[in-house]
């Protein structure tokens, strides 16, 4: 949820990885699973799905 929120807020994968002390690849993997579970195709769609539109 935290990664999804940060991505929806406009942070890049690199910025998210720096903030959470994760590798960029880990962030990318989490986002891929989040997109699949939420039925979205990009971070542009996340705010609407997370109720931030």
Indicate the pTM of the whole model: 0.88
Instruction: Express each pLDDT in 6-52 by its tens digit.
Output: 999 999 999 999 999 999 999 999 999 999 999 999 989 999 998 87
Q: What pLDDT is stored for residue 30 in this prediction?
A: 97
Q: What pLDDT is stored for residue 51 in this prediction?
A: 87
Residue keyed to tokens 């935290």: 2
For residues 28 and 52, what is the distance between their CA atoms, to the nearest angstrom?
21
Residue keyed to tokens 């539109």: 53
Q: What pLDDT is stored for residue 53 in this prediction?
A: 60
For residues 21 and 47, what is the distance between their CA atoms, to the nearest angstrom?
23
């Amino acid at each position: 949820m935290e990664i999804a929120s940060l991505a929806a807020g406009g942070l890049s994968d690199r910025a998210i990885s720096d903030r959470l002390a994760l590798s960029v690849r880990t962030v990318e993997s989490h986002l891929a699973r989040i997109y699949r579970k939420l039925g979205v195709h990009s971070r542009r769609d996340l705010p609407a799905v997370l109720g931030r539109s």
